[in-house]
Structure 1
Amino acid sequence: MIIGILLAILAGSLVSLQNVFNSKVNQHISSWGTTSLVLGMGFAASLLIGLLFEGKRMFNLVNMQPWYWISGIIGVGVVICLVQALKRLEPTFSISIVMTSQLGFALLWDSMGWLGLEKVPFRPNQLIGVLVIIAGIVVFKTGGSFGRENRKQKQN
């Protein structure tokens, strides 16, 4: 379990790092160019590393459902949406929303047993956890601006 937690933390840090780089690339080329570059380089890297570690076994796709192949297309949506969000919002705010959205939708899909997932019983404390995270993002984003506004009004 500890290794799983550490890997999840590493994945989160890498996603945040990737978004910073994507944002910088997007300042120089279009969003579609950024998406193509990011996914193209990811394809090349994963192909090379996969061949090194797994060889031909990497292409053993027996018994795989054909609709699983759309994952790559979903990846295009992920990158293009993140690049656009980063353009319009601060990186920390964007990533906070993305992670909360991931958690909320994972809770929905697990609870409903959709997409071939084993149905996990929904518990209200899970929803409360997501709502607490959303409240934390609101506090983070407003960051005392309510207090500053009240002080300004009192001074006038």
Structure 2
Amino acid sequence: MKGIIFAFLAGAFITLQGVANARISQNIGSWQAATITQLTGFIAAILIVVIVKDQKWKQFKNVPPIYLTGGSFAAVVIYGNIYGIHSIGVTLTIAVILISQLAITFLIDGKGWFGVLKKEMQVPQFIGIAMMIAGVVILKF
């Protein structure tokens, strides 16, 4: 149940962050907004680590270096979110982001990339993503 709650919160905060970033970018620019967001996110994460006294971060040297670059993807996520919201609106941007996330997860699960358990995608999963794409087409018109 905790997983569902935190996943729901993550989705809500992604949307709220996108809207806030779009507003910030109107004053200072998109990449500047991404920088501010990354910085404040870093500060918030450090504060949480200090408050909960979690010492696991010291094990970062055991993480393969390629995975340590994952945070850099956030800059592109933030910029894409900002540009999308300015260009096509909040609803359509989030819908397209969700479809993109599902498409990539299909590849990751189907191919077993990044050490995840390989899962065979079946007809219901493809019908689900097709329905989401149809929903975006309906939203657009």
Q: What's the CA shift string for 1:55-82, capped at 9, x where partnerless?
A: 4432222431111111011111111111
CA RMSD of aligned residues (A): 1.3
- Name the residue aligned to 2:116: 117
Counterparts of 1:94-105 in structure 2 under 5 Å? 94-105=93-104
Q: How many residues align?
A: 141
User: Is this contact kept in 1: 2:19–2:82, CA < 8 A?
Assistant: no
Q: What's the CA shift string for 1:113-133, capped at 9, x where partnerless?
A: 112221111212111100101
Structure number with larger C-alpha Rg? 1
- Name the residue aligned to 1:7: 6
- Name the residue aligned to 1:39: 38
Higher RCO structure (Cα 8 Å, ≥6 apart): 2
Give the residue type in structure 1 aligned to 2:20.
Answer: F
User: Is this contact kept in 2: 1:51–1:58, CA < 8 A?
Assistant: no
Which 5+ residue runs of structure 1 have no aligned equivalent? 143-156
Name the CA distance, whole Å, in 2 between partners of 1:99 and 1:25.
23
* TM-score normalised by structure 1 residue count: 0.85
Name the CA distance, whole Å, in 2 between partners of 1:129 and 1:69.
32
- Name the residue aligned to 1:149: none
Local SS of the residue matching 1:122 = coil
* TM-score normalised by structure 2 residue count: 0.93
- Name the residue aligned to 1:26: 25
